[in-house]
Copies of this chain bind each other. A is one copy, B any other.
Amino acid sequence: MKLQQALSERDGAELANLLDPLPLSDALRELLNLPVEQRSVALSLLPPELAAELVEEAPNALAVDLVERMGSEQAAEVIEELDSDVQADVIGELEDADAEAILTRMDPEDAADVRRLVEYEDDVAGGLMVAEAFTFSETDTVGRVLRRFANEEYDLERYRGQHPYVLNSNGTPIGVVSLRSLVSTRRSARLTDIMVPPITVQANMPLEKLEDLFDENPFLGLPVVEADGHLVGVVSRSAVDEALLKRAESSSLKRQGVFGDELRSMPLPLRARRRLQWLSANIVLNVIAASVIAAYEQTLAAVIALAVFLPMVSDMSGCSGNQAVAVSMRELSLGLARPIDAMRVWFKEVSVGVINGFVLGLLIGVVAWMWKGNPFLGLVIGGALGLNTIIAVSIGGVLPLLLKRIGQDPAVASGPLLTTITDMAGFFLVLSLATAMMPLLI
């Protein structure tokens, strides 16, 4: 390919020519198609602005990997081009020594901002904010704001729609000035005469609270303060939206047992190991569930047809339960269900469970009857699936709320726990009903 040729010739200009016209996601895909050690070589050859755009486009774990493999000199140049919230995300994930090497090569003021930002958790206002704020003092005038606009110090886009914030001598925001009052007031007027009190958020405000605030208010950005009231940054609507999207995607991956935001461009041993961790825990749960079958081998030996239906009952119940899990996960993320709503959720689910259990039990019962020509086998299989559907949706609906309540991540644990319980219950129902009705089945 042309890309590899430009790379082998160390031709940064040609690399830029090839990648720059592409949409970012396409350019990143091209980069990721290179062998892993060459990706960072390519990044170092590119103009720092373009390299920074690619790093920003990459999911976090990948961005960190790309930066880690660059020389600290080039890495510092690329990182200087990022927004301060992204700088902190990347540097916060590096090895301490790597981070230090890069920080000492950065502009000291920017480096200080990053050191401040990495202290915050990712999913609170402090971790989502940028350090740069458009601030003025109590003595500043309208004219001074307009001059800063005009002097290219402020740029609506770069500041994601920040308004001018007025700080007192302690650095606490005491007012915010609207664009409208700026352009309709004489230049010599003090900002303190036209400002309105600001809505501020605490640096430890969690993502969900920020989501609520931005849903209720049209603001494009909100000033972030520490407990003592001084301004530490500004969190933008778009940073919150992006964090919500990332969380939704990562939760969807975790539900399927994929951790660490795997991409196929990551090293094979890492991908295999991460997936295996979850799978091997799952094997243990499977052995537990299967032990129920082992306890009924005599029944199975007598009515071998049961073995045909065991995986069906287990799979169908798992599906019904996972539907309920999915609805609960969504209601949790929308704030429409809270851990204390477990009883209400259970009641809503059990109603669905009774209807669907009846229908599915009837369907599979008729299938079993017709297939094996024994109505009692239909009764056993249909009855077991019907009851187990009710169990599955009850557990599926309530489990995510309970896990959340005890501080566990429902995306991780709901699925495996659910299927283990419904497998055990399903096997038990089929085999114990069959044991009880044995004379009618053979």
Contact = CB atoms under 8 A, between A and B. Distances in A.
Interface of A: 23-26, 28-29, 32-33, 53, 56-57, 59, 146, 149-150, 152, 154-158, 160-161, 163, 178-180, 183-184, 209, 212, 215-220, 237-238, 241-242, 244-245, 248-249, 251-253, 255-258, 261-265, 268-269, 271-272, 275-276, 278-280, 282-283, 286-287, 289-290, 293-294, 297, 300-301, 304-312, 314-316, 319-320, 322-323, 325-327, 329-331, 333-338, 344-345, 348-349, 351-352, 355-356, 359-360, 363-364, 367, 371, 419, 423, 427
18 contacts: A25-B215, A29-B336, A29-B337, A146-B183, A146-B184, A149-B180, A152-B180, A252-B330, A253-B326, A279-B356, A282-B315, A283-B363, A287-B367, A290-B312, A294-B308, A297-B307, A310-B310, A315-B423
Nearest to A274: B323
B258 A359 contact: no
A96 to B, nearest CB: 29
Nearest to A289: B311
Given A161-B220, A276-B355, 11 more contacts: A155-B218, A156-B179, A160-B218, A248-B248, A264-B336, A264-B345, A269-B355, A271-B352, A280-B360, A287-B367, A304-B304
Nearest to A23: B212
Contact of A180 (B155, B336, B356, B423): B155
A163 B155 CA distance: 12
A294 B370 CA distance: 14
Given A24-B215, A280-B360, A351 B268 contact: yes
Nearest to A359: B276
Given A248-B245, A272-B356, A323 B257 contact: yes
A339 to B, nearest CB: 13
A134 to B, nearest CB: 12
A252 B245 CA distance: 12
B311 A314 contact: yes
Contacts of A311: 286, 289-290, 293, 310-311, 314, 423, 427
Nearest to A25: B335
The A interface is mostly helix, strand or loop, or mixed, namely helix
A78 to B, nearest CB: 17
Contact of A268 (B268, B327, B352): B352
Contacts of A56: 215
Contacts of A57: 215
The interface centre, meaning the residue of A160, A249, A272 with most chain B CB atoms within 10 A of its CB, is A249
Contacts of A325: 256
Contact of A275 (B209, B315, B356): B356
A297 B290 contact: no
A372 B429 CA distance: 24
Contact of A300 (B23, B217, B307): B307
Contacts of A337: 29, 264
Contact of A316 (B220, B245, B282, B320): B282
A11 to B, nearest CB: 23
A319 B219 contact: no
Q: Which 3 A-B pairs have the closest CB atoms?
A: A25-B335, A150-B184, A241-B241
A157 B268 contact: no
